[in-house]
């Protein structure tokens, strides 16, 4: 992601997200929220750089 708030967060995914627990609520961030924000920010970056 391009925002400083999320910079380098992928390096710490293993600390926060446990794939062995399907009911864990933190998976929402990694499976839906993070990819959504990443897509939105990347598309906006492309639009602004045109």
pTM given for the model: 0.52
Q: pLDDT, tens digit, for every residue of 30-50?
A: 778 888 998 999 999 999 987
Q: Are 7 and 38 in contact (CB under 8 A)?
A: no
Q: Could you tell me which residue, 22 or 41, shows the higher pLDDT?
A: 41
Angle ∠(32,35,16) on CA atoms, nearest 5: 70
Q: State residue 28's pLDDT score.
A: 75
């Amino acid at each position: 992601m391009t925002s400083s708030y999320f910079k380098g967060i992928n390096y710490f995914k293993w600390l926060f997200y446990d794939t062995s627990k399907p009911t864990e609520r933190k998976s929402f961030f990694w499976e839906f929220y993070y990819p959504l924000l990443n897509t939105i920010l990347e598309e906006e970056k492309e639009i602004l750089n045109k």
